[in-house]
């Protein structure tokens, strides 16, 4: 037997830019990025979220004007293509096929660009299409929602839904660049503006107590979307996600530890059970509440910490319970989560605010009790303890719940 051991390292680097009026002619964010490709002329396919298109009159004309004024470095191969916005686009695989067909029809090569404008779902679809055409075209993302700018649009993942499972099909494909334009936030309804703040709370809880204190102290101004507070929250949230991807040693998730998925195992099931009626950020807020309550029952965080977490989420404007939580098959959902991440089951729990612990032992019955507490709490039946009475096992037996 002869073995030849192959080993190589590939270095990735991409900018995450925060700006305004990205397609205003004087803005150089996009036109300065493209020359770094080393090509004199860069062929670009623009993909636009239908919700962004509807909310931004004159957007296509503005993009085309920008291209004509900066024609020395870019060539838009055809008029921008509009694909349906929201989670629906990830269910409809014809949206990926539409992008593939345009790439083939216009003879785009691997050195060509897909420029995707939209929320996280559209960025996922466009990113997956770009990653799989010719085994990978270059992708520039222009995230347009809170959630996309602070989380979904700044990482290396993309994917579409299949078999009733969220992100079942996808790939790891680092983007060429990310340009966050705060002006797009002005077009969003309150519900969508709010949804992305759940990811800020999540990453603060597991990584940065000072950031959580900021969110807690500013929770009322965040609830009214004060621009300077929103922008600070978005930038710090994105920064923490980027730091984790770049410094955790596992950017492509070869291992089984995924701390950035705190609160997500149940969130994905809520989205699936409600067929997208509950938005991702809203489901994450419920997942954070559930996993925080479970952490409290395990004796990992204090009652005061739990109160601050719930207050932050609720005063920003999130509901912490939906009927879908009670419908979740907890063992099945955790098994699906394990299949999705691979390796041994590992769930992050809080160990105080700003820190986490990884556990491989899950008490599904305790999780059920936590769901029941959230359900009862949502009905307003708890008069003394707004978090509901903690199960005795959480107070007396926490040492038996974790390795």
Q: Using an 8 Å Cβ cutoff, are 332 and 368 in contact?
A: no
CA pair distance 326, 245, nearest whole angstrom: 33
Q: Across residues 47-67, what is the average pLDDT?
A: 94
Using pLDDT thresholds of 50, 70 and 90, give the confidence band for residue 253.
low
Q: Using an 8 Å Cβ cutoff, are 191 and 279 in contact?
A: yes
CA pair distance 220, 233, nearest whole angstrom: 13
- Judged against a pLDDT cut of 50, whether residue 73 lies above it is answered with yes
Q: What is the mean pLDDT of the chain?
A: 89
Query: In terms of C-beta density within 10 A (0-12 exposed, 13-18 middle, 19 or more buried), how is residue 208 classed?
Result: buried
Half-sphere exposure (Cβ direction) of 87: Cα atoms closer than 13 Å: 18
pLDDT score recorded for residue 96: 96
Domains of the chain: 16-187 (3.40.50.1970), 190-395 (1.20.1090.10)
Using pLDDT thresholds of 50, 70 and 90, give the confidence band for residue 220.
very high
Q: Across residues 305-323, what is the average pLDDT?
A: 97
- Judged against a pLDDT cut of 80, whether residue 380 lies above it is answered with no
pLDDT score recorded for residue 255: 52
Q: Across residues 206-234, what is the average pLDDT?
A: 97
Using pLDDT thresholds of 50, 70 and 90, give the confidence band for residue 396.
very low
Residues 6+ apart with CB under 8 A from 224: none
Q: Which residue has the tokens 């996808």?
A: 170
- Judged against a pLDDT cut of 70, whether residue 402 lies above it is answered with no
Quick one: which of 86, 88, 318 has its CA closest to 202?
A: 318
CA pair distance 327, 323, nearest whole angstrom: 7
Higher pLDDT, 245 or 143: 143
Q: Which range is least confidently modeled, 31-45, 98-112, 141-155?
A: 31-45
Using pLDDT thresholds of 50, 70 and 90, give the confidence band for residue 212.
very high
CA pair distance 345, 393, nearest whole angstrom: 22
CA pair distance 63, 247, nearest whole angstrom: 35
Model pTM score: 0.89
What is the number of other CB atoms lying within 10 angstroms of the CB of residue 384?
6
Q: Across residues 25-51, what is the average pLDDT?
A: 90
pLDDT score recorded for residue 362: 87
- Judged against a pLDDT cut of 90, whether residue 74 lies above it is answered with no
Using pLDDT thresholds of 50, 70 and 90, give the confidence band for residue 68.
confident
Higher pLDDT, 162 or 395: 162
pLDDT score recorded for residue 259: 61
pLDDT score recorded for residue 37: 80
Residues 6+ apart with CB under 8 A from 13: none
- Judged against a pLDDT cut of 60, whether residue 119 lies above it is answered with yes
Using pLDDT thresholds of 50, 70 and 90, give the confidence band for residue 181.
very high
Q: Which range is least confidently modeled, 20-29, 218-227, 241-250, 273-282?
A: 241-250
Q: Across residues 193-217, what is the average pLDDT?
A: 97
Q: Using an 8 Å Cβ cutoff, are 199 and 147 in contact?
A: yes
Q: Across residues 255-267, what is the average pLDDT?
A: 74
pLDDT score recorded for residue 179: 98
CA pair distance 348, 360, nearest whole angstrom: 9
What would the pLDDT profile of 151-175 be if each residue is shown by its tens digit?
Answer: 989 989 899 999 988 889 999 999 9
Q: What percent of the chain has pLDDT over 70?
A: 90
Structure tokens at 287: 């997942």
CA pair distance 314, 220, nearest whole angstrom: 10
Rounded (5°) CA angle 190-196-197: 90
CA pair distance 332, 327, nearest whole angstrom: 11
pLDDT score recorded for residue 39: 80
Q: Using an 8 Å Cβ cutoff, are 99 and 45 in contact?
A: yes
Q: What percent of the chain has pLDDT over 90?
A: 70
pLDDT score recorded for residue 8: 86
CA pair distance 69, 65, nearest whole angstrom: 6
């Amino acid at each position: 037997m002869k073995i030849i051991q192959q080993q190589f390292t590939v270095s990735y680097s991409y900018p995450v830019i925060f700006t305004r009026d990205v397609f205003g002619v004087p803005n150089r964010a996009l036109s300065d990025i493209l020359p770094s490709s080393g090509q004199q002329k860069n062929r670009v396919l623009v993909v636009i979220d239908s919700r962004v298109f509807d909310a931004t009159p004159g957007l296509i004309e503005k993009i085309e004007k920008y291209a004509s004024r900066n024609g020395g470095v870019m060539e838009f191969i055809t008029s921008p293509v509009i694909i349906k916005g929201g989670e629906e686009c990830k269910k409809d695989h014809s949206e990926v096929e539409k992008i593939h067909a345009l790439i083939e029809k216009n003879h785009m090569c691997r050195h060509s660009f897909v420029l995707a404008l939209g929320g996280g779902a559209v960025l996922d679809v466009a990113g997956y299409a770009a990653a799989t055409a010719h085994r990978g075209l270059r992708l520039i993302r222009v995230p347009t929602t809170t959630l996309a700018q602070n989380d979904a649009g700044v990482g290396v993942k993309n994917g579409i839904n299949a078999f009733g499972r969220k992100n079942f099909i996808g790939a790891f494909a680092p983007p060429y660049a990310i340009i966050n334009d705060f002006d797009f936030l002005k077009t969003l309804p309150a519900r969508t503006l709010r949804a992305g703040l759940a990811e800020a709370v999540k990453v603060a809880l597991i990584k940065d107590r000072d950031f959580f204190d900021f969110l807690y102290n500013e929770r009322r101004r965040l609830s009214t979307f004060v621009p300077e507070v929103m922008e600070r929250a978005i930038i710090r949230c994105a920064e923490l996600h980027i730091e984790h991807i770049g410094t955790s040693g596992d950017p492509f998730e070869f291992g089984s530890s995924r701390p950035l998925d705190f609160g997500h195992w149940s969130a994905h099931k809520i989205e699936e059970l409600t067929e997208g009626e509950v938005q991702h950020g809203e489901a994450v807020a419920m997942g954070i509440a559930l996993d925080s309550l479970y952490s409290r029952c395990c004796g990992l965080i204090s009652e005061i910490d739990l109160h601050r977490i719930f207050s932050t989420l609720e005063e920003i404007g999130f509901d912490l319970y939906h009927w879908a939580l009670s419908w979740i098959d907890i063992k099945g959902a955790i098994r699906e989560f394990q299949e999705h991440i691979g390796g041994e089951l590992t769930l992050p729990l809080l160990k105080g605010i700003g820190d986490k612990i990884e556990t491989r032992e899950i008490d599904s019955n305790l999780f059920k009790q936590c769901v029941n507490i959230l359900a009862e709490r949502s009905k307003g039946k708890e008069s003394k303890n707004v978090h509901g009475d903690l199960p005795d096992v959480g107070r007396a037996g926490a040492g038996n719940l974790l390795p």
